[in-house]
Amino acid sequence: MNVYLIAGEPSGDRLGAALMAGLKTLNPDIGFAGVGGPLMQAEGLDSLFPMEELSVMGLAEVLPKLRRLFKRRDEAANHIVLAKPDALVTIDSPDFCLRVAAKVNSMASDIATVHYVAPTVWAWRPERAAKMAKSIDHVLALFPFEPPYMEAAGMTCDFVGHPVVAEPVASAAEVAEFRRSYGLDDAPVILALPGSRVGEVTRLADRFGDALSEVIAQHPSARIVVPTVGPVAGKVHELVKRWPGVPLVLDPRDLGPEQYAVAKRAAFKAAHVALAASGTVSLELAAAETPMVIAYDMNWMSRRIIASKMLIDTVTLVNIVSGTHAVPEFLGDACKAPDIARALNTLMGDEAARAAQLAACADTMAQLGKGAEAPGLRAARSVYEVIKPAAP
């Protein structure tokens, strides 16, 4: 039995690795091929090309790289058809992955196709579900309210839980060791997470820095900690030099994967408050019970196009799942340092505001499957049923 997987960014790499581990639990002899990052490679994937080439976000940002992306799409599709896997599993990154699935479907329609992470048709561009159904057989959904959207478009769909609920949270001992190792003592920790792509880090860094300057002015004993990822670590080191104080950058290139993972978990748990770019990181912060402010901006053209198609009034996942506006967010034109700073200062000292947000975070974790079977194994069972319906 062989499964071909394609992931296009770090969050997809994590999903893919957990899915691969789950599939190996169900069938130790299963084989893998495809495109993925270090976590998927650690599970046995020999990546066809570097996953980082696909990590591009924003309409204007993609345009200069279209020719290379189309070349990679064709390369992947041809490789899949020659490999003849029992299933193709595309993971998130829909602009690339679904194009690969469509091309494969046109060349070899007998290959079962699964897409992991339902497109956010409940948020914008609902027509994507019907278009996707032309080349996708089955969908793995991270959110419990998503299956009806996929089924209405003609695909089968299982809610498998969100992987964040299965990720470890730092213990009190790990937090204490983290503080001791980095000389933080009892200082309030402000976590800063400006993104995992060069474009977003570059765009947000100065606004994050300006906002944090105002917060540090009111809380001079606080320390800023910046966990980052390998592809943007150099840029982060460069940009945070303009931030107040001496921010502590957690760099996986210096620490190594295992030590970095421990340090990052401890930083999330140790933080009194976090300022983060929009994305899955809000759920990681919710799992760590860390109050947060979300801020994000993108290219002017991308911003206008997306805003014109939005169907919801919040993009923060904690707000969406919990049905609240507990997490303050500053997006697009509203991504201004003074307003971000005010929201951070409120969370630094207002216990009622902190409690309200943490209640929404707890509700979000419960809805996403906390306490149930691990999402990676649930996803594996769902894929296995597509490949081999008679499997237990």
Q: What is the 3-state secondary structure (H, E, C) of the chain?
A: CEEEEEECCHHHHHHHHHHHHHHHHHCCCCEEEEECCHHHHHCCCCECCCHHHHCCCCHHHHHHHHHHHHHHHHHHHHHHHHHCCCEEEEECCHHHHHHHHHHHHHHCCCCEEEEECCCCCCCECCCHHHHHCCCCCEEEECCCCCHHHHHHCCCEEEECCCHHHHCCCCCHHHHHHHHHHCCCCCCCEEEEECCCCHHHHHHHHHHHHHHHHHHHHHCCCCEEEEECCHHHHHHHHHHHHHCCCCCEEECHHHHCHHHHHHHHHHHHHHCCEEEECCCCHHHHHHHCCCCEEEEECCCHHHHHHHHHHECCCCCCHHHHHHCCCCCCEEEHHHCCHHHHHHHHHHHHHCHHHHHHHHHHHHHHHHHCCCCCCCHHHHHHHHHHHHHCCCCC
Q: Which pLDDT value is given to residue 352? A: 95
Q: How confident is the model at residue 392 (pLDDT cuts 50, 70, 90)?
A: very low
Q: How confident is the model at residue 63 (pLDDT cuts 50, 70, 90)?
A: low
Q: Are 196 and 276 in contact (CB under 8 A)?
A: no
Q: Which pLDDT value is given to residue 390? A: 40
Q: Are 275 and 212 in contact (CB under 8 A)?
A: yes
Q: Quick one: what percent of the chain has pLDDT higher than 90?
A: 82
Does the pLDDT of residue 59 top 60, yes or no? no
Mean pLDDT (the chain) is 93
Q: Which pLDDT value is given to residue 293? A: 98
Q: How confident is the model at residue 389 (pLDDT cuts 50, 70, 90)?
A: low
Q: What are the pLDDT digits (tens) for 68-127? A: 888 999 999 999 999 999 999 999 999 899 999 999 999 999 999 999 999 999 988 899
Does the pLDDT of residue 37 top 70, yes or no? yes
Does the pLDDT of residue 178 top 60, yes or no? yes
Q: Quick one: what percent of the chain has pLDDT higher than 70?
A: 96
Beta bridge partners of 141: 159
Give this prediction's pTM.
Answer: 0.83
